[in-house]
Amino acid sequence: MTSGTVCEKAAAVFHKSYFAMKTLLRCRALLTRESFGGRPTASIRNENIYREKSPDGRNVKFRGWVGRNLRAGLISALLLSAVAAHAATLTVTSAADSGPGTLRQAILNASTGDTINFAVGITTITLTSGELLINKNLTINGPGANVLTVQRSSMVLFRIFNISPAGTTTISGLTIAGGQAELGGGVYCTGGTISNCVITNTQGGGIHAVGQSQIHHSAVINNMLTGYYAYGAGINANNGSVLNCTVSGNTAYGHWYASGGGVYMTGNAGGLVRNCLLSGNNAHTDYGGTNWASGGGVYFFGGGTLESSTMSGNTVNGDISNGGGLTYGGQIRNTIIYGNTAATDPNYYLDQYAPATFDHCDS
pLDDT the model gives residue 348: 74
Q: Is the torsion defined by CA of 278, 250, 244, 330 positive or negative?
A: positive
What was the pLDDT predicted at 162? Answer: 96
What sign has the CA pseudo-torsion 280, 283, 284, 289? negative
pLDDT tens figures, 40-84: 444 333 434 333 444 444 444 444 444 444 444 444 444 444 444
CA distance 257 to 262: 15
List the chain domain ranges.
Answer: 2-85, 89-359
Q: Which residues pair with 315 in a beta bridge?
A: 282, 341
| pLDDT exceeds cutoff 80 at 105 | yes
Residue 81's SS3 state is helix
The answer to whether residues 25 and 1 touch, using CB atoms and an 8 Å cutoff, is no
| 193 pLDDT more than 90 | yes
Question: How far apart are alpha carbons 213 and 194 in whole angstroms?
Answer: 8
Question: pTM to 2 decimals?
Answer: 0.76
Closest CA to 122 of 103, 94, 145: 94
Q: Alpha-carbon distance 224 to 205, whole Å?
A: 6
- Amino acid 346: pLDDT: 81
Q: What is the pLDDT of residues 209-240, one digit of tens each?
A: 988 899 999 999 999 999 999 999 999 999 99
Q: What is the mean pLDDT of residues 339-360?
A: 74
Contact 292, 319 (CB under 8 A): yes
Kindly report the number of other CB atoms within 10 A of residue 125's CB atom: 22
**4 or 250: whose pLDDT is higher?**
250
Cα–Cα distances (Å) from 217 to 184, 246, 293, in that order, read: 19, 8, 28
DSSP characters over 221-236 = ES-EEEEEEEE-SSEE
3-state secondary structure of 323: coil
Q: What is residue 96's predicted lDDT score, i.e. its pLDDT?
A: 98
